[in-house]
A and B are shown apart, each in its own frame.
Chain A
Amino acid sequence: AQSVTQLDSQVPVFEEAPVELRCNYSSSVSVYLFWYVQYPNQGLQLLLKYLSGSTLVKGINGFEAEFNKSQTSFHLRKPSVHISDTAEYFCAVSTNTGNQFYFGTGTSLTVIP
């Protein structure tokens, strides 16, 4: 079975500061890894995904994430956040043969002016 842990339920950060949102996963098989973002009153939007290849993946809005197989992590980073980055961020995994996602509980990022 697959599972995802997002240890930080809330992350406040000042505008223009860097941020890291942590994600760890557990799986006995190879997985794909994803970060989704949910802005207020909107749907879940794909930020970035890791399927294979380079362990550093870049997504939309200046976000990037690094896949670390030995630490079973897929942390999301942004070097300088904006007010508009305030949202709920979800890490998710799926197996490379499957069709469903296993999500974490989400991290609420609040950017403080």
Chain B
Amino acid sequence: EPEVTQTPSHQVTQMGQEVILRCVPISNHLYFYWYRQILGQKVEFLVSFYNNEISEKSEIFDDQFSVERPDGSNFTLKIRSTKLEDSAMYFCASSERAGSKYGYTFGSGTRLTVV
């Protein structure tokens, strides 16, 4: 069964450093998403991306965050200057069609630890 692949599975970074989280969505999917889960809290929507631009973003997704599909296969989330509160599990997801009723395929997540 096709999978969404996220790398690395765990990343440790120093506060203030830039970090890039990588995702390889399912090849025929056109819609891409990032979610995060701070330990003990809810999984929260960050951003959705379609046709090489952001289609929707949450209040969490401020200027320190950016997304990119640099080469037609990868989908990345960049955090420019990490803060301690950015420590979380970050999930990438993709879907073939727009609309939540079709469901997404999620990756296994990248655990980001900011020290």
Contacts and interface: CB of A to CB of B under 8 A. Distances in A.
Contact of A99 (B6, B9, B41, B48): B48
Interface stretch (A18-26, A37-45, A62-70, A73-81): A37-45
Contact of A100 (B6, B40, B100): B100
A56 interface: no
Interface in A4-36: 4, 32, 34, 36
Contacts of B99: 99
Residue of B9, B31, B43, B107 with most chain A CB atoms under a 10 A cut-off: B43
Contacts of A98: 100
Interface of A: 4, 32, 34, 36, 41-46, 49, 51, 90, 92, 94-96, 98-106
11 contacts: A42-B108, A92-B43, A94-B100, A95-B100, A99-B56, A99-B98, A99-B99, A101-B100, A102-B45, A103-B42, A106-B43
